[in-house]
């Protein structure tokens, strides 16, 4: 049995989505960022930082989402790069973490820090602009319908999560390629199944989080 430890709207969605694309059945164990469940010693034994995802698979546990995506592709031989595309595929898999770093900072500022005096409008504006720059790189990097010329791959899964959540902080009006790419991905049956299993939203409750004006 494959078991995925998951929080709705978190990076563990990437793993849930890829599992659906591959067709691997899994048990989804839902957690919350807003209680102590991720600090339970039993959970820390499989995810030392107390984060999601954690994936129990093939007799072991893995706790880094990018590594999990790469492992699934390499062991199940699905949704990897086409011939000669491995450098690009690896670049996008890891670039997804650059996008995620800016998302994490924006999430901290807009959502986790609940009191206005804790927040920095300067950081909010700066991180929104940095996030926008990463999405501009995606806009330029699209090879037709997907990130690789050979078609859909786990690179799309990795990067699209950042764009899906990122559009809550950066408007996609000036990024029509990214907007169209997301619509194609959202229409995939595996994506829809993953959304159905994601759980009720608990992190991002607004459609858009505006950076304060200076």
The confidence score (pLDDT) of residue 71 equals 98
Structure tokens at 136: 């501009």
User: In this structure, what DSSP letter does residue 172 have?
Assistant: -
Q: Quick check: 122 pLDDT over 90?
A: yes
Q: Judge whether 12 lies within some domain.
A: yes
Q: Considering the chain, what percentage of its residues have pLDDT values greater than 70?
A: 100
Q: Say how many domains are in the chain.
A: 2
- Indicate whether 96 and 182 sit together in one domain: yes
Give the closest residue to 94 by CA, choosing from 62, 67, 127: 67
If residue 94 lies in a helix (H) or strand (E), which one and from where to where? Answer: helix 86-107
pLDDT score for 34 = 86
pLDDT > 90? residue 161: yes
Distances (CA, A) of 110 to 30, 106, 142: 23, 6, 30
* pTM given for the model: 0.97
For all residues of the chain together, what is the average pLDDT?
A: 97
Judged on CB neighbours under 10 Å (0-12, 13-18, 19+), 134 is: buried
How far does the chain reach from its first CA to its final CA, in angstroms?
52
Length of the chain: 214
Tell me phi and psi for residue 129, to 5 degrees: -70, -40
How would DSSP label each residue in 126-155? HHHHHHHHHHHHHHHH-BTTBSSTT---HH
Structure tokens that stand for 200 in this block: 């009720």
CA distance 59 to 141: 37
Q: What is the pLDDT of residue 46?
A: 97
Residue keyed to tokens 């690179």: 155
| pLDDT on residue 112 | 94
| Domain extent for 109 | 86-188
Binned at pLDDT 50, 70 and 90, residue 27 comes out as very high
| Residue 214 scores a pLDDT above 90 | no
> 76, 111, 140: which is the final residue of a domain?
76
CA distance 125 to 87: 33
Map residue 56 onto helix, strand or coil: strand
The pLDDT of residue 213 is 85
Does 31 reside within a domain? yes
- 191 pLDDT exceeds 90? yes
pLDDT reported for residue 140: 98
Looking at the fold, whether 68 and 142 belong to one and the same domain comes out as: no
- Same domain? 92 vs 158: yes
- Among 37, 56, 76, give the residue marking a domain's end: 76
- CATH number for the domain harbouring residue 22: 3.40.30.10
Q: For residue range 47-83, what is the model confidence (pLDDT) as tens digits? A: 999 999 999 999 999 999 999 999 999 999 999 999 9
The answer, yes or no, to whether the previous bond of 53 is cis (omega within 30 of 0) is: yes
Average pLDDT over residues 112-117: 92
The whole-number pLDDT of residue 68 equals: 98
* HSE, side-chain direction, 13 A CA sphere, residue 67: 9
Residues 49 and 96 in one domain: no
Residue 197 in any domain: the answer is no
What CATH number does residue 90 fall under? 1.20.1050.10
Instruction: Name the percent of the chain lying above pLDDT 90.
Output: 95
Report d(CA 166, CA 160) in Å as an integer: 9
* Residue-level pLDDT at 157: 98
């Amino acid at each position: 049995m494959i078991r995925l430890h998951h929080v709705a709207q978190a990076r563990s969605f990437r793993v849930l989505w890829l599992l659906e694309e591959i067709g691997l059945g899994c048990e989804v164990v839902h957690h919350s960022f807003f209680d102590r469940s991720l600090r339970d010693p039993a959970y820390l034994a499989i995810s030392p930082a107390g984060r999601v995802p954690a994936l129990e698979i093939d007799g072991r546990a893995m706790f880094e989402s990018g590594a999990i995506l790469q492992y699934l592709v390499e062991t199940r031989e699905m949704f990897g790069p086409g011939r000669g595309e491995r450098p690009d595929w690896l670049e996008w898999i890891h670039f997804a973490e650059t996008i995620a770093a800016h998302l994490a900072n924006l999430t901290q500022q807009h959502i986790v820090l609940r009191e206005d005096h804790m927040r920095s409008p300067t950081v909010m504006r700066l991180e929104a602009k940095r996030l926008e720059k990463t999405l501009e790189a995606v806009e330029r990097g699209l090879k037709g319908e997907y990130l690789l010329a050979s078609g859909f791959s786990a690179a799309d899964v990795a990067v699209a999560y950042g764009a899906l959540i990122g559009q809550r902080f950066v408007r996609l009006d000036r990024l029509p390629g990214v907007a169209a790419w997301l619509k194609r991905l959202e229409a995939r049956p595996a994506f829809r199944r993953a959304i159905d299993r994601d759980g009720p939203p608990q992190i991002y409750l607004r459609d858009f989080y505006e950076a304060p004006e200076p």
